[in-house]
Amino acid sequence: MKGGLGANVRGYKQTVSKFEEQIKRAEADTSEVNDDIDKIRREFDAAKQRFLEIPEALKAMPKMNPEGIYVNRGIRLDLIQVYGFDYDFTLVHYSANLQCLIYDLAKEHMVNEFKYPEVCMSFKYDPSFPIRGLYYDRQHGCLLKLDFFGSIEPEGCFYGHRQLSEKEIEEIYGTRHIGRDQARHLVGLMDFFCFSEACLIADIVQYFVDAKLEFDACYIYEDVNRAILHVHQSGPVITLSKDVKGEGKKIFLLTNSPYYFVDGGMQFLLEDSMDSRDSWRELFDVVIAKANKPGFYTSEHPFRCYDAEKDTLAFTKVDKFLKNKIYYHGSLKSFLQITKWNGPEVIYFGDHLFSDLRGPSKAGWRTAAIIHELENEIRIQNEDRYRFEQSSVAFVFNELLGRLHATVPSSKRSEAYKLLMYELNEERQKARSTMKRMFNTSFGATFLTDKGQESAFSYHIHQYADVYTSRPENFLFYSPETWLHAPCDIKIMPHHVKIRHNLPLAHLPDPFGGCAPSILSKVAAVAATPASRYRSGFPDIGTTITVVFR
């Protein structure tokens, strides 16, 4: 009995000893976690002090060229023999007032022809609301901004003009990621007309919601799209054309616009530079109007010769293209059979990633996307203020948040942890909001999400554009023998600059990401441009070798 009691006492003492050891280990772990939290807190406070003003190293970083050519897949211009152009918003640029005019004419058409309520006539175009690259959900009536992987931006979903919360987004879609079935209901707003189109869609949805009227979101899109299409159908050009033709190369115009629309625009554009009314057609080896892109690339429709004087189509078969003639309809298959122009020797310029460039890209043509917003977005990204927010806040606090999550297990998250987590999240959100408002108050940047990742629009540029730039005439700054090289790091859009979060703590990084000087000098020699064409303040080879900071 005594022996049994002694054994029990010894067992009890051993249990107490193990419990005490566990308590000591727990206290040691807690102390270690608290030390880690204190360390991250000190780094956070130190970072805020360091970034009270813009660091000199940040100011010294090179700037990207707003008028540069940015490369997804390398192109040797000396191998390009044929240059093709879309017309609207590619070869010809329009003033900002055009969007307002398109919007007003489209809403009038919807009221007069589609019998929409008269109150729609009071709607006003809001240039601050839309950006290019949005999606409209024909099932739910939402305008969406998607990221590179097809997920909805947390602050990029609007029902009418009301921004939906993350909770509302999940109630509608189940998750922020758009699945294959949901994607079938989405339509991309990708060309220059998309600004007035997105704004009119939002205005009409908002009207029906406010008036508590039932509506089918699909019908609204179809009606607005038809109205915009109805409106659409109702200097640098000469220089670029002569440069191209002076090298013995071919040039053609391929547009969905009717001839009278193209003719009026080209005459106005070139009235001080050409001798006669019709001489603009001499700039092109082939002129094709009403091509019905993107169907042009997959159909087998025949070409028809168009008589501009009689406004009629000829019945004779088109088996060759003649100078100063206008051709309607047709297909890529017939075009290649007639011209014998091989795919890789043709480059086509267009502003709509789907209608203009997806077909040529799949058919083997080289493609150049014309994105007018690129100039403004690059200028904003070049600003010290933008890079300051990007470097001093977004990246620093993203890293500290990640370390805090990884360091502190969920069972040991104290009040100190919660407070630091809250402060880091607040600073990160303020930085994102600041950068977003620099582009567009509703949807932010065209190419980037609020988190600094690529948007779905960027994804499609990766898919369908070998190169992209703001205007076709930017090619005038390059020799016809230039090799346009894709950058070494293609994980981001070539015109974006990665900024190290610890830039102020270190020397300015190698602006060429460690590329050998000998390689750079060779590329610079190939891609060199005349001094008269060089824009000071931008790297001379910044468009062929992207400046990437790792």
Q: Kindly give, in sequence order, each residue whose CB lies less than 8 Å from that of residue 385, ignoring residues fewer than 6 positions away.
A: 54, 438
**Is 541 a domain residue?**
no
| Residue 527 confidence (pLDDT) above 50 | no
pLDDT at position 34? 79
pLDDT at position 549? 26
Last residue of a domain, one of 180, 214, 234: 234
| 191-224: b (≥16 Cβ within 10 Å) or e | bbbbbbbbbbbbbbbbbbeeeeeeeebeebbebb
Average pLDDT rounded to a whole number, residues 53-62: 76
Please check whether residues 166 and 187 belong to one and the same domain: yes
What residues are annotated to the active site?
86, 88
Residue that wins the pLDDT comparison between 195 and 56: 195
Binding site, annotated residues for Mg(2+):
86, 351
Please check whether residues 101 and 229 belong to one and the same domain: yes
| Residue 522 confidence (pLDDT) above 60 | no
| Residue 211 confidence (pLDDT) above 90 | yes
Please check whether residues 392 and 422 belong to one and the same domain: yes
**Is 417 a domain residue?**
yes
Please check whether residues 193 and 305 belong to one and the same domain: no
Please check whether residues 148 and 228 belong to one and the same domain: yes
Please check whether residues 310 and 323 belong to one and the same domain: yes
Amino acid present at 506 = A
Residue that wins the pLDDT comparison between 437 and 545: 437
pLDDT at position 84? 93
Number of domains in the chain: 3
In 73-167, beta strands by DSSP E: 75-76, 82-85, 134-137, 142-146, 152-159, 162-163
Binding site, annotated residues:
86, 88, 351
**Is 540 a domain residue?**
no
**Is 33 a domain residue?**
yes
Note the pLDDT tens digit of each residue in 313-366. Answer: 999 999 999 988 999 999 999 999 999 998 899 999 999 888 899 999 988 999
Please check whether residues 196 and 104 belong to one and the same domain: yes
Residue that wins the pLDDT comparison between 453 and 537: 453
Distances (CA, A) of 512 to 62, 69, 493, 525: 10, 17, 16, 16
Please check whether residues 88 and 125 belong to one and the same domain: no
pLDDT at position 289? 95
Lowest-pLDDT range, 20-34, 136-150, 249-263?
20-34
Domain of residue 161 covers 96-234
**Is 222 a domain residue?**
yes
pLDDT at position 421? 86
pLDDT at position 5? 52
pLDDT at position 276? 57
Last residue of a domain, one of 184, 207, 234: 234
pLDDT at position 517? 30
| Residue 156 confidence (pLDDT) above 90 | yes
**Is 146 a domain residue?**
yes
Q: Identify the band that residue 161 occupies on the pLDDT scale cut at 50, 70 and 90.
A: very high
Q: Report the share of the chain in percent with pLDDT over 70.
A: 77
| Residue 51 confidence (pLDDT) above 80 | no
Note the pLDDT tens digit of each residue in 495-511. Answer: 876 665 554 433 333 33
Please check whether residues 219 and 278 belong to one and the same domain: no
| Residue 96 confidence (pLDDT) above 80 | no
What tokens does 226 get?
Answer: 């038809």
- What CATH number did the domain enclosing 326 receive? 3.40.50.1000
pTM, 2 dp: 0.77
**Is 124 a domain residue?**
yes
Longest dimension (CA), the chain: 124
pLDDT at position 310? 92
Q: Report the share of the chain in percent with pLDDT over 90.
A: 47
Let me know: does 382 contact 63? Beta carbons within 8 Å: yes
Please check whether residues 191 and 252 belong to one and the same domain: no
**Is 483 a domain residue?**
no
Q: Identify the band that residue 519 occupies on the pLDDT scale cut at 50, 70 and 90.
A: very low
- Residue 14: CB atoms within 10 Å: 10
pLDDT at position 230? 85
Note the pLDDT tens digit of each residue in 290-308. Answer: 999 999 999 999 999 999 9
Q: Identify the band that residue 494 occupies on the pLDDT scale cut at 50, 70 and 90.
A: confident
Residue that wins the pLDDT comparison between 446 and 180: 446
Please check whether residues 103 and 87 belong to one and the same domain: no
CA 177, CA 144: separation in Å to the nearest integer?
12
Lowest-pLDDT range, 176-190, 213-227, 386-400, 460-474?
386-400
pLDDT at position 535? 34
Give, for 303, the enclosing helix (H) or strand (E). Answer: strand 303-307
Please check whether residues 86 and 215 belong to one and the same domain: no
For residue 27, report the phi and psi dihedrals to the nearest 5 degrees.
-65, -40
Binding site, annotated residues for GMP:
88
| Residue 26 confidence (pLDDT) above 70 | no
| Residue 529 confidence (pLDDT) above 50 | no
Let me know: does 470 contact 372? Beta carbons within 8 Å: yes
What tokens does 428 get?
Answer: 């990160």
The DSSP 8-state label assigned to residue 282 in this structure reads: G
Lowest-pLDDT range, 140-144, 399-403, 538-542?
538-542
Average pLDDT rounded to a whole number, residues 464-491: 84
Which of 9-13, 25-29, 410-414, 517-521 has the highest mean predicted lDDT (pLDDT)? 410-414
Last residue of a domain, one of 416, 437, 458: 437
